[in-house]
Amino acid sequence: MDVDYCLAWANAGIGQHAVELRLDDLIFDLDDIRFFMANRGDCRVVATYRIKDPSEVDTLDLEDGDDVPETSEVDMAVRLLSAAIIAGADYIDIDMDFPRPELKWLMNLAMNYGCKVILSYHNAFGTDSTEVLIATVNRCFALGADIAKIVTTAHHSAESGRVLALYDHFEAGRLIAFAMGSEGEQSRYDSFQKGAPLMYCAPRRRLPTAEGQPLFYDILPKEDNIVIGDVYPPSAKSIAIRAIVASALTTGVTVLDNVTLCDDVLDAINVAKQLFATVDIDLKNKSLTITGNQNIGKDGLKVRRDILDIGSCGLLCRICIPLAALSRKMVMITGRGALMQRKFSRGCPELTRHGVFVDFCQGRLPAFVQGPLKAGTYNIVSSASSQFASGLMMALPLVDDGNVVVKVRDMAVHPHIQLSADVVSRMGIKYDEISGAEGKSVTYSFSGGQAYRPGRMEIENDWGAAALWLVLGAIAGEAGVDNMLVKSLQAENFILEVLETAGADIERFTDPEMDYLTDTIGYHSALRTVMAAFECDIASCPDLLGPLILLALRCEGESCIHGVRSLMGKESQYVKAFLALGADIRLDGDSVYVKGGFNKTLRGGNVSSHGDHRLAMTLLAADYISDSTVKVDDVDVIDRLWPGFPIR
């Protein structure tokens, strides 16, 4: 946890709360303490240091990058707590058995700066007798404590009751008394109800300081904590589309399991049929049986009427144009709807460089493609050449004999090439992958003249859809996604890294003994908590823009999302839509900036999805943090990814 994360808690505006700085756990130097205290606003601060072993030594990073020579942990505690007192901490919390000379020094310093002293007693093994507990409180006060803190461990309810009975003997405002452990959990709430000045909770599930400590989520008012529920996201259409087309290129029967019949997948099925494949759909078991009837090495790619109608799916366009070059005839690529208005002004430079004829109609579909596609070296160095890289990876192994090299230097597109490479390898294509220096390039090499092998493949679930649902839980209450591949090649699982950076309460539940496997499936859940502003780059996963805007709206401070130009103009539609809802958001070049806060709300209203299914889903989700209803036009476009999307 860094200073920004701690400041997010201080400035969250969640009532009469306090932030405890566990200086024994935080990696704070003196400047960090001063900076935090200067920017914490009206939030009360408890500076705590628990001595683990007074004989331990450590180093402390001071000003100008100089280190203090090796010093005892007691000395370090004194330095850090002294800095907190001088900077304006409201309380310091130290063990009552802290070495006497240093304790006296800290208490005198605290008195001079108006800082209250909490002297603490902890019993990690059990609960003392009533007489001992009372004597311990009296000892704390005799040492000069403003507040006595008595924490024991309860093995049954009677022990919790014994600790709470201290409130019958002492002024409640000067006493914090409760028990740890599962049997002591309720005593934490009861202590506060009896008048304890502080109640302790963990910011998220991974950060409790003791068993039985409630989460911040547990004490949220019901109106700030919406149980959204769990979902089973749709299958990853980007993988399903590749697998369907690849299956149509085989000679034989392939079975694809866990396929969501969204509109884009239905378009892919139609393309498979145009490639002379037969497709049987099993709705009950969510599977497709695809019988391929191609023999590309002998006949070239066979296309019905030499026309490929790709519907409204942009990915199919990027796949089918390189594939069409495998035909021995000119093939027309066409579609429908908004896809026909999308401009491919930069064409397919790597295809044309290798002698393939590609002609668009004023930069738009329909396109006309005439091969042959040849072996050689293909350079993916910019967005211009990367648009059709996924299709190249699927088509090039099928060219006539020869060596093929694909050099990827536009690393933003590499995750999408990886998906194609993974699908073709699972269907029998062999290739070598070599990473360049410092991970700045990747080279794929393989022989031409290969053929796709029919078989069986399960399609994993869509991380882009899961990302939206997890963010919804993080900003609004509680949500979970099930059956997600943990070690996925989908670029959108980057959402987990961003959520972690922001301090979201995200947990994964899998069989620990199976986590080393690449096909481990997990359940992920998100609970609402305070989060800090973040900075990230989504050039390789532009589909995360919507979920990340929502996330940023509920993070303290201004978040920055780089790499948005990869949305090819759609980024402005996202910004305009959220401006209409009242978001503090701006587009500056390749970046989107969003100012947010823990209780940030939108005003709601009528907005357009501009025919973008992911934008439509994001805007519907925004209703959970809006003061009035968010009404989105053309919500049926969501069926391109998630038929039956739970928010309508």
Lowest-confidence range among 55-69, 339-353, 602-616? Answer: 55-69
The reply to whether 162 and 177 lie within a common domain is: yes
The reply to whether 516 and 531 lie within a common domain is: yes
What is the per-residue pLDDT for 358?
94
pTM over 0.85: yes
Q: Establish if 557 belongs to a structural domain.
A: yes
450, two tokens: 């290969």
Residue that is last in its domain, among 440, 458, 476? 458
Residue that is last in its domain, among 424, 458, 492? 458
Q: Establish if 646 belongs to a structural domain.
A: no
Average pLDDT over residues 524-550: 97
pLDDT at 280 over 50: yes
What is the per-residue pLDDT for 124?
94
CATH label of the domain that carries residue 356 = 3.65.10.10
> How far apart, in whole angstroms, are the C-alpha atoms of residue 10 and residue 8?
5
The reply to whether 410 and 474 lie within a common domain is: no
The reply to whether 145 and 156 lie within a common domain is: yes
Q: Establish if 647 belongs to a structural domain.
A: no
**Under a CB-based contact definition with an 8 Å cutoff, are residues 544 and 538 in contact?**
yes
Q: Residue 149: beta bridge partners?
A: 120, 176
Q: Establish if 648 belongs to a structural domain.
A: no
Q: Establish if 134 belongs to a structural domain.
A: yes
3-state secondary structure 48-109: ECCCCCCCCEECCECHHHCECCCEEHHHHHHHHHHHHHHHCCCEEEEECCCCHHHHHHHHHH
Closest CA to 365 of 419, 406, 398, 324: 324
Report pLDDT digits (tens) over 305-318: 999 999 999 999 99
Dihedral angle at the C-alpha atoms of 123, 127, 130, 131, nearest 10 degrees? Answer: -50
Average pLDDT over residues 148-171: 97
- Domain boundaries, position 130: 3-223
**Under a CB-based contact definition with an 8 Å cutoff, are residues 312 and 640 in contact?**
yes
The reply to whether 113 and 245 lie within a common domain is: no
Q: What percent of the chain has pLDDT over 90?
A: 84
What is the per-residue pLDDT for 413?
84
Distances (CA, A) of 94 to 31, 116, 188, 500: 21, 11, 20, 30
The reply to whether 69 and 102 lie within a common domain is: yes
Q: Establish if 232 belongs to a structural domain.
A: no
pLDDT at 54 over 60: no
What is the per-residue pLDDT for 345?
54
pLDDT at 72 over 90: no
Report pLDDT digits (tens) over 125-154: 999 999 999 999 999 999 999 999 999 999
The reply to whether 41 and 171 lie within a common domain is: yes
> Is the omega angle on the peptide bond into residue 366 within 30 degrees of 0, that is, cis?
yes
CATH label of the domain that carries residue 150 = 3.20.20.70
> How far apart, in whole angstroms, are the C-alpha atoms of residue 319 and residue 317?
5
Q: Establish if 423 belongs to a structural domain.
A: yes
The reply to whether 83 and 217 lie within a common domain is: yes
Residue that is last in its domain, among 194, 223, 252? 223
The reply to whether 436 and 559 lie within a common domain is: no
**Under a CB-based contact definition with an 8 Å cutoff, are residues 351 and 376 in contact?**
no
Contacts of 275 (CB under 8 A, 6+ apart): 245, 248, 249, 292, 294, 301, 302, 303, 304, 308
The reply to whether 442 and 476 lie within a common domain is: no
- Split at pLDDT 50, 70, 90, the class of 382 is low
Lowest-confidence range among 163-167, 432-436, 600-604? Answer: 432-436
The reply to whether 414 and 512 lie within a common domain is: no
* Count of structural domains within the chain: 3
Q: Establish if 228 belongs to a structural domain.
A: no
The reply to whether 192 and 340 lie within a common domain is: no
